[in-house]
Amino acid sequence: MDDLDRQLLGELQRDATQSYAALGQAVGLSAGGAHERVRKLRGQGVIRRTTIEVDPSAVGRGVAAFVLVEAQAWMGAPSVRAALEALPEVVEAHIIAGPATLLVKVRTATTEELQTALRHLFAIEGVSGTQTIVVLETFFERPLSTDVGEG
């Protein structure tokens, strides 16, 4: 995991369709060398998968909201996780420290569907309340920078 690998990750995040020849040229490597490094990054699990970014509004997911879920029970159980995964509107779920125990990101077509999603969240065992933060405008959602931080 050196600087060349990070450059490769950045290039692939930007455009994963480019050829290994172009990829190698971008970082100063032959096509074969670039291919070998990318293969290893996949093997190590650094690259989890190759995927596409879809326009949310084009597939009926134009409304976004973050929901803070308050609970009277421990929410780290696998059953809770499974219940959240079963809801297609839920795109992220995190156990958090702070005013609530669970934070989920929800995407729906309309605010009416958002309400339906909230009802489904309430139906999960132990949930005692929710606080919903509706997104008015998304500035950006981007892949993580592969630059080194301070260390």
* Binding of a copy of itself by 43 (CB under 8 A): no
Name the minimum Å distance from CB 49 to DNA. 14
Residue 83 neighbours by CB distance under 10 Å: 18
- The SS3 assignment for 98 reads coil
Name the minimum Å distance from CB 119 to DNA. 37
* Binding of DNA by 24 (CB under 7 A): yes
* Binding of a copy of itself by 2 (CB under 8 A): no
Considering only CA atoms, which of 99, 95, 90, 92 is closest in space to residue 76? Answer: 95
Separation of first and last alpha carbons in the chain: 14
Name the minimum Å distance from CB 50 to DNA. 11
- Please identify, using beta-carbon distances, which residue of 50 and 138 lies nearer to DNA: 50
The residue within the footprint of a copy of itself, chosen from 103, 118, 121, 127 (CB under 8 A), is 103
Would you say 149 and 9 are in contact if contact means Cβ atoms under 8 Å apart?
A: no
Would you say 19 and 9 are in contact if contact means Cβ atoms under 8 Å apart?
A: no
* Binding of DNA by 21 (CB under 7 A): yes
Contact residues toward DNA (CB under 7 A) are 4, 19-21, 24, 29-33, 35-37, 39
